[in-house]
Amino acid sequence: MMKGRRREAMGLALVAPSFLFLLVFFIVPAVLLFVCSFWMAQAFKLIPAFTFDNYSRALSASGFYLLTWNALKNGLCTAVLTVGLSFPAAYFIVYRTRGNLLFYLILVSWFSSYLVRIYAWRVILGSNGLINTTLMQLGLISQPLEVLLFSPFATILTLTHIMLPFALLLLVSALRDVKKEYVEAARDLGASNTEVLTRVILPMCYKGLVGAFMFTFVISAGDFVTPQLLGGRDGMTTGILIANQFRTAGNWPFGAAMAFLLLAAFLIVYLGFVRLLDLLRLAPGRRFHD
């Protein structure tokens, strides 16, 4: 008993530095940002106040809904594509290969810088880019296809490319918990391939599935660099609007209010996604709970 208590005190002492760091540089700033969303800005100066003006200003502008819809659309399309494309690859890695070479090969590409990948897609999709010039040299088109670059399509393609390796990592570690024996047992009991997938594998890696989907969604819906560089005029998102408030001499309290509205929208998508899995009967039943 004494030993256990001393061990716990030691544990608390060891995590204390990180806790302090997170308190000062994560919790305090987040709270400060929330408080500031009720302040006012005059001539680029912050004036402490308690007003809902920033929220009502955002919610009464039709542009805000449009830009938020763009952000959510980017996030949802990217998350569906990323998880959809990565799941078969994760399945292959976990059940069909023995070594880890393929897995590591994919993970290493995660470290090919984010900006460089955006730049690479701009080179490939641009009007003087690889695809357009190749198509023109082949005589298939006479004018460069402008829709390739500066469109939501370019944004979603690039974000998917950026998010794939990390989603794969999360899915592989989730699938590794679904032991081969369960799959074999289901087969022996006469389940078809589809049934094995929807009744055994997917419900058992539910947490990893939700994690990979939400992680991809939040990062890509909140991203402002990719839509700014590749999205064109129709690809403007709330993220860009928020970033502009803080980067150029903008209205910080207004930006803070929009950031919290965007987080609220993310929460709604999360609840919706969990509900959808429930309705599709892909959520684990009671018996799988710890």
Partner 1 sequence: MLRIYVWLYVAFLYAPIAIITLFSFHSSPALTFPFEGVSLRWYAKIFSDATFMASLWNSVIVGASTALVTTILGSLTALGLARLKGRIQTLFGLLAFGPVALPGLFLGIALVMLFSQIGLQRSLVTIIIAHVLFTLPFFIEAVRSRIEYFDLSLEEAARDLGATPLQTFRLVTLPIIGPTIGGAAILSFALSFDEFIITVFVSGNDTTLPLTIWSMMRRAVSPDINAASVISLGLSIGLILIGGLLVWYQRRLALSARAKDMEA
Per CB under 8 A, which of residues 235..264 are in contact with partner 1? 239, 242-243, 246-247, 252, 255-256, 259, 263
- Residue 199 contacts residue 191 (beta carbons within 8 Å): yes
Give the amino acid at 20: L
For the stretch 8-12, contacts whose Cβ atoms lie closer than 8 Å and that sit 24 or more positions apart, written own/partner, are: none
Complex with partner 1: residue 94 or 277, whichever CB lies closer: 94
CB of 26 to partner 1, least distance (A): 6
Complex with partner 1: residue 152 or 224, whichever CB lies closer: 224
Complex with partner 1: residue 233 or 285, whichever CB lies closer: 233
Site for partner 1 in 184-243 (CB under 8 A): 215, 218-219, 221-225, 229, 239, 242-243
- Residue 99, both tokens: 């070594």
> Which residue from 52, 65, 84, 113 is in contact with partner 1, where contact means CB under 8 A?
113
Complex with partner 1: residue 203 or 222, whichever CB lies closer: 222
- How far apart (Å, rounded) are the C-alpha atoms in residues 200 and 47? 56
The answer to whether 43 contacts partner 1 (rule: CB under 8 A) is: no
Complex with partner 1: residue 50 or 104, whichever CB lies closer: 104
The answer to whether 279 contacts partner 1 (rule: CB under 8 A) is: no
- Residue 268, both tokens: 């709604």
- How far apart (Å, rounded) are the C-alpha atoms in residues 124 and 119? 9
Report the chain's terminal Cα–Cα distance, integer Å: 27
Maximum distance among all Cα pairs of the chain, rounded to whole angstroms: 82
- How many chain residues touch partner 1 (CB under 8 A)? 79
The answer to whether 183 contacts partner 1 (rule: CB under 8 A) is: no
Site for partner 1 in 66-85 (CB under 8 A): 85
Query: Which residues touch 97 (CB under 8 Å, ≥6 apart)?
Result: 103
- How far apart (Å, rounded) are the C-alpha atoms in residues 59 and 77? 24
Complex with partner 1: residue 164 or 236, whichever CB lies closer: 164
Closest listed residue to residue 218, CA positions, set 161, 277, 159: 159
The answer to whether 93 contacts partner 1 (rule: CB under 8 A) is: yes
The answer to whether 10 contacts partner 1 (rule: CB under 8 A) is: yes
> Which residue from 66, 80, 89, 191 is in contact with partner 1, where contact means CB under 8 A?
89
